[in-house]
Amino acid sequence: MAEVIVFPQLEIPDTIAAGPGPGNTDPRVLQRFASAGMADHMQADVLRGMVESKLMLREIMGTANVHTFGVAGTGWSGLDCLFSAVLPGDKVVVFVNGTFSGIDGLTLRMKAATAEELAASPLDPKAASVTVVSVPHGQSVTGEIVQAALAKHQPKWAAMTHWETGSGRINDLRGFSDACQAYDVMGLIDAVSSLGVEDFRIDDYPGVDGWASCPQKGICCLPLTYAPVSFTDRYIQNLRRTGCRTFVHHPILEARHWGIIDGKDAEKGVYHRTHSAYAVAAFHEALRITLQQTVAGRAKSYAFHEAALRDAVTAAGCKVTSNMTSLVVLNLPDSLKGREMELVQACRAKGFGIWPTLSEPVQVRIGILNLLNQRAITDIVTRFVGAMNEMGAGIDMKQIGERLEEQYQAAVAAE
Ligand SMILES: *Cc1c(COP(=O)(O)O)cnc(C)c1O
């Protein structure tokens, strides 16, 4: 008889999520998650929680789009729903300037590939109808780049990542939206790392017809709860005409459980799939937190603390190449060049969860998701500079610490 192995109970330590995401789940979210009772996906309070979440999400995203709801899963789940209306042979232009926009490009090539193109290269199809416009790592996609590509290719769809988390670069959303409007293209935006971090309203970008984000970055909820998505009536009308090849991520069908039926708000949702009372309770609390602190208030706080972190690592000899406010992407001082992975691994081994870049060139990424206070930023700087010093960087930690303290004192004085 084969021996049955029961492993010891799984223990996972608490670490500092100082990377591009997932961020530090808010304690209030964890508390709601753990306090939800056992209830099925058609229980009245679960359905009410979903309807309330839908309404709060519209407020946070700044939209009157009826089709605004959460897709169970993470960012890629929301993006899969977003890209679901792209059918084989559809003409698409996608802008790629890092790891995540690169995967968006792959997703679109998979969806737009013909059966023959997919069979020829199943994991990396070369779809003739998809144009990938590549922008070098560390640079932003500009309005001019988008304008030129849409003028040349006249696609049905255009896709761009708002904040490219791979390289820490902000792309020109205004330019993208304007170009989509000018060429009558339906714009699709990966807003996975910008929602809840930057102060913007999606309805101010009329060239964009679909948006997708994630639970665990700016929204500070748990991964595998809900990825926010929003679709204009134009997107939905197009989808009604063409259909799409998914049940679970179908934007019209999935919206039903959130009480969006026949394009209108219903009192409560109807069955689409099983939802989790825990996930609904956590997501609902995360949205409450964002609204209580306000999107504008959080955006201001991110900008302030990112500037403090950027100043400190620059003073320590690093070169920052990013411009996102939730993430610093940097090159190490010359003396440590080539030792990025070693440094990241040393930090991670101590529960300080920073990240390397996932595609070339190798850089270090330090994030501050839901770490918006002086104590947290000081801890990050101390650990990071300490790790560089252990590798022989010889940085004057005291001077860096004093400089950081001065910035915070000046901010307090200015209040
Ligand atoms: C994190 C991220 C994703 C992927 O999200 P998951 O939650 O890992 O599925 C996609 N796009 C961007 C821009 C991201 O930052």
What atom in ligand 1 is closest to the CA of residue 166?
15
Residues 176 and 197 in one domain: yes
Q: Is residue 236 part of a domain?
A: yes
Sequence-distant (≥ 6) Cβ neighbours of residue 74 within 8 angstroms = 214, 215, 216, 223, 224, 227
Residues 287 and 302 in one domain: no
Distance 99 CA to ligand 1 centre (A): 9
Residues 328 and 283 in one domain: no
What atom in ligand 1 is closest to the CA of residue 76?
9
Distance 76 CA to ligand 1 centre (A): 6
Question: Which of these three, 268, 291, 314, is where a domain ends?
Answer: 291
Residues 62 and 155 in one domain: yes
Sequence-distant (≥ 6) Cβ neighbours of residue 257 within 8 angstroms = 41, 50, 269, 270, 271, 272, 273, 275
Question: Which of these three, 272, 291, 310, is where a domain ends?
Answer: 291
Residues 38 and 94 in one domain: yes
pLDDT at 366: 98
Q: Is residue 199 part of a domain?
A: yes
Residues 190 and 119 in one domain: yes
Residues 161 and 274 in one domain: yes
Domains held by the chain: number: 2
Q: CA 294 to CA 287: how far, in whole Å?
A: 10
Q: Is residue 189 part of a domain?
A: yes
Domain interval for residue 388: 295-414
User: Hey, whose CA ends up nearest to atom 2 of ligand 1?
Assistant: 192
CATH number at residue 300: 3.90.1150.10
Distance 103 CA to ligand 1 centre (A): 9
pLDDT at 415: 78
Distance 193 CA to ligand 1 centre (A): 7
Q: Is residue 4 part of a domain?
A: no
User: Hey, whose CA ends up nearest to atom 5 of ligand 1?
Assistant: 75
Residues 266 and 125 in one domain: yes
Q: Is residue 12 part of a domain?
A: no
CATH number at residue 233: 3.40.640.10
User: Hey, whose CA ends up nearest to atom 7 of ligand 1?
Assistant: 75
Which of 83, 165, 171 is the best mutation target for the ligand 1 pocket, counting ligand atoms within 8 Å of the beta carbon and taking the most? 165
What atom in ligand 1 is closest to the CA of residue 161?
13
Encoded amino acid at 298, one letter: R
pLDDT at 1: 62
Residues 241 and 103 in one domain: yes
Residues 49 and 117 in one domain: yes
Q: Is residue 3 part of a domain?
A: no
Q: Which residues line ligand 1 (CB under 6 A)?
A: 21, 74-76, 100, 161, 165, 190, 192-193, 214
Sequence-distant (≥ 6) Cβ neighbours of residue 5 within 8 angstroms = none
Q: Is residue 264 part of a domain?
A: yes
Question: Which of these three, 238, 257, 291, is where a domain ends?
Answer: 291
Cα torsion 10, 18, 359, 143: sign: positive
Q: CA 68 to CA 46: how far, in whole Å?
A: 18
Residues 238 and 333 in one domain: no
What are the residues facing 260 on neighbouring strands? Answer: 265
Residues 114 and 42 in one domain: yes
Walk along the chain (415 residues) in steps of 10 and give the mean pLDDT of each run.
Answer: 87 95 95 95 97 98 98 98 98 97 98 98 98 96 98 98 97 98 98 98 98 97 97 98 98 98 96 97 98 98 97 98 97 96 97 92 96 97 98 96 94 84
Q: Is residue 394 part of a domain?
A: yes
